[in-house]
Amino acid sequence: MKPWDAFGGDAVFRPLLHDFYARIKRSTIVHLFPPELIETEEKQFAFQSEFWGGPERYSPWRGHPRLRARHMPFAIDQTAADVWMSCMQEAVAHSAMPTEYRETFLQRMRLTAQAMINRSVADGAEHPF
Ligand code: HEM
C-alpha cells in the first residue's frame, strides 16, 4: 500500500491541511503567506498527494516542486520553521491519521521544514549592542 493510502488518503489530508492553514492563520508567521490561503492549501494538498504516492496532482499543475527555490522569496528562519512545524504537529494530532504513521509523516515534514530555512535568525534583527 502507498503511504498516501496508509495515512488515510484524501479523507485524512483534506481536513488535516484545512486545519493546518487555520492554525497558520492564527500563528506568528501568517504575514509570510498570501491573505487568502485557499490556493496555498490546494497546492499543499496536491504536493502531499504526489509526494506520498497518491494521485499525481502537483506536477501537472505546478511543474517540478523546486521547494527550496520557491520558498526563497519568504524570510524563513529557524523560528518560522519551528512555528510551521508546530502548526503541522497540532493538525496531525487533531487529525484522523492512524497513530502508527504519524511520526513517519512528521519526521519527513521536519526534515523538509529545516531545508526551507533561508535566513539566519539574526538577519534583519537589530544589533543588540
Ligand atoms: C519552514 C517553514 C515554511 C514556511 C514559512 C512556508 C511558507 C510558504 C509560503 C509563504 C508559500 C507561498 C504560498 C503560496 O504561494 O500560495 C509556500 C508554498 C509552498 N510550500 Fe511552504 N513553507 C514552509 C515549509 C514547507 C514545507 C516543509 C513544505 C513541504 C513539506 C512546504 C510546501 C509548500 C508547497 C508545496 C508550496 C506551494 C509551491 C508552489 O507550487 O508554488 N512548505 N510555503
pLDDT tier for residue 124 given thresholds of 50, 70 and 90: low
CA 46, CA 60: separation in Å to the nearest integer? 10
Domain 3-115 grouped into CATH 2.40.50.140: no
67 Rama class: left (phi>0) / alpha (psi -120 to 50) / beta: alpha
Cα(103) to ligand 1 centroid in Å equals 20
Q: What is the pLDDT of residues 22-38, one digit of tens each?
A: 999 999 999 999 999 99
Q: What is the pLDDT of residues 94-108, one digit of tens each?
A: 999 999 999 999 999
With 0-12 CB in 10 A as exposed, 13-18 as middle and 19+ as buried, what is 77? middle
Ordered by start, the domain boundaries in the chain are: 3-115
- pLDDT given for residue 30 in this prediction: 98
CA 129, CA 111: separation in Å to the nearest integer? 34
Residues with C-beta less than 6 Å from any ligand 1 atom: 29, 32-34, 39-40, 43-44, 47, 62, 67, 70-71, 74, 76, 80-81, 84, 109, 112-113, 116
- pLDDT given for residue 121 in this prediction: 77
Name the grid cell of 66.
Answer: 523546486
Instruction: Return the best residue to mutate from 21, 24, 38, 43 for the ligand 1 pocket (most ligand atoms within 8 A of CB).
Output: 43
Cα(67) to ligand 1 centroid in Å equals 7
- pLDDT given for residue 125 in this prediction: 58
Nearest CA to ligand 1 atom 2: 81
Q: How confident is the model over 59-87, as a mean pLDDT?
A: 98
Name the grid cell of 96.
Answer: 484522523
pLDDT tier for residue 11 given thresholds of 50, 70 and 90: very high
Q: How confident is the model over 2-18, as a mean pLDDT?
A: 98
- Ligand 1 atom with the smallest distance to the CA of 33 is 10
Cβ-based neighbours of 126, under 8 Å, separated by 6 or more: none
Secondary structure class of 117 (helix, strand, coil): coil
